[in-house]
Amino acid sequence: MIHFEWPWLLLALPLPLLVRWLLPAQTPVEQAALKVPFLDDLGTAETTKVSSDKQWPLILASIAWVLLVVATSRPQWLGEPIEQAISGRDLMLAVDVSGSMQQEDFVINKRQVDRLTATKQVATQFIERRSGDRVGLILFGTTAYVQTPLTFDHKTVATLLDEAFIGITDDKPATSIGDAIGLAVKRMEDQQANTHVLILLTDGANTAGEISPLQAADLAASHQLKIYTIGIGADEMIVRSLFGAQRVNPSLDLDEKTLTAIADKTGGQYFRARNTEELEKIYTLLDQLEPVEKDKQYFRPLSELYPWPLGLALFIAAIVSIRRLRWS
């Protein structure tokens, strides 16, 4: 819909009529002229033509005045209401992309997939539900780095998570859990959010980095950063070889003790995801533990329209001025 920011300026529309009514009319100067009787008929026709020609500038000037007043009242186009909820929470996801995440012990749509693929599918749905939260993404393997800073643009976060791949941080099979936590603390310590939350997902133990996971957890606790840890990976799977089928535990390297200690130190919670269903339940539970904002706010985008009537008014004024110069 069209909205006028200063609608009271529309009261200026009848101003030219008031000026014409209040100010005295200009008396034409009479000049001596030679009257030629036999040219009376031609004079009548010429007078009618000149009178008609002089009406057009007045009409155009009136249109230009209306457009100018409309432009002055600052017309705007109000778009459809857009929902916006601000929770005051900063939520960072730290996802393990080390070599062990390529273990194919998860099933999606009856198809065997690796751990990172399963994480992407479930975490993307979680990100899209976090209305009102600023969400960021940390990827860690041998090193940890911020893939996406904290932002309300959840679509971009989900896209960059989907583009992550095994070994994106380094080609060495190592995991720096402590560095990922330390990086999250650094990114959130200067933020003004009411709540800081880190969700850390890994399938192994800390084998690299400059700081140990427990030291990083103490640092996080001192900065009021709550950490939820998720240990991902099946407890057993069937591996076929030349010696037949063998039942193995693909999660032997998972350090559940340390992940539990990290969560306890920061007031969070540790979860175990052995399959896709459990991973989905964990993220649903996280929605309950850190609920999204319920009180919605709305805003309507504005587009300024005044350049159009203003430009048209100036164009008409230019035409009237050129015609007057031709007549003079």
- What pLDDT, on the 0 to 100 scale, is given for residue 232? 93
Domain shared by 189 and 252, yes or no: yes
Domain shared by 46 and 127, yes or no: no
The answer to whether residue 29 is domain-embedded is no
Domain shared by 172 and 135, yes or no: yes
pLDDT surpasses 50 at 38: no
Domain shared by 142 and 184, yes or no: yes
* Predicted TM-score of the model (pTM): 0.64
Using an 8 Å Cβ cutoff, are 244 and 233 in contact?
Answer: no
Domain shared by 57 and 95, yes or no: no
pLDDT band at 45 (very low <50, low <70, confident <90, very high): very low
Which has the minimum average pLDDT: 81-95, 136-150, 226-240? 81-95
**Six token digits for residue 277:** 């269903």
Q: Residue written as tokens 């009537």? A: 309
CA atoms within 13 A on the CB side of 71: 15
**Six token digits for residue 32:** 């001596």
Task: State the burial class of residue 86 (Cβ atoms within 10 Å of its Cβ: 0-12, 13-18, 19+).
Answer: middle
Q: Specify the amino acid at residue 39.
A: L
The chain-wide mean pLDDT, for the chain, equals: 83
Domains identified in the chain, total number:
2
Domain shared by 161 and 287, yes or no: yes
Domain shared by 304 and 291, yes or no: no
The answer to whether residue 258 is domain-embedded is yes
Cα(27)–Cα(46) distance, rounded to whole angstroms? 22
Q: At 281, which CATH number?
A: 3.40.50.410
- What pLDDT, on the 0 to 100 scale, is given for residue 36? 47
- What pLDDT, on the 0 to 100 scale, is given for residue 17? 85
- What pLDDT, on the 0 to 100 scale, is given for residue 124? 94
Q: Residue written as tokens 């269903």? A: 277
With H, G, I as helix, E, B as strand and everything else as coil, classify residue 131.
Answer: coil
Using an 8 Å Cβ cutoff, are 99 and 173 in contact?
Answer: yes
Q: Which of 242-251, 255-264, 317-326 has the highest mean pLDDT?
A: 255-264
pLDDT surpasses 50 at 6: yes
The answer to whether residue 66 is domain-embedded is yes
Domain shared by 134 and 198, yes or no: yes
The answer to whether residue 113 is domain-embedded is yes
pLDDT surpasses 80 at 82: no
Tell whether the torsion through CA atoms of 14, 15, 20 and 21 is positive or negative.
positive
Cα(165)–Cα(311) distance, rounded to whole angstroms? 53
Domain shared by 120 and 94, yes or no: yes
Domain shared by 197 and 280, yes or no: yes
Which has the minimum average pLDDT: 34-43, 255-264, 315-324? 34-43
The answer to whether residue 179 is domain-embedded is yes
Task: State the burial class of residue 198 (Cβ atoms within 10 Å of its Cβ: 0-12, 13-18, 19+).
Answer: buried
Q: Residue written as tokens 């031609």? A: 42
Domain shared by 90 and 16, yes or no: no
With H, G, I as helix, E, B as strand and everything else as coil, classify residue 216.
Answer: helix
pLDDT band at 193 (very low <50, low <70, confident <90, very high): confident
Cα(318)–Cα(38) distance, rounded to whole angstroms? 40
Cα(197)–Cα(135) distance, rounded to whole angstroms? 10
The answer to whether residue 92 is domain-embedded is yes
The answer to whether residue 26 is domain-embedded is no
Domain shared by 59 and 184, yes or no: no
Domain of residue 112, residue span: 86-295
Chain-centroid distance, C-alpha 230: 28
The answer to whether residue 27 is domain-embedded is no
Which has the minimum average pLDDT: 52-56, 163-167, 205-209? 52-56
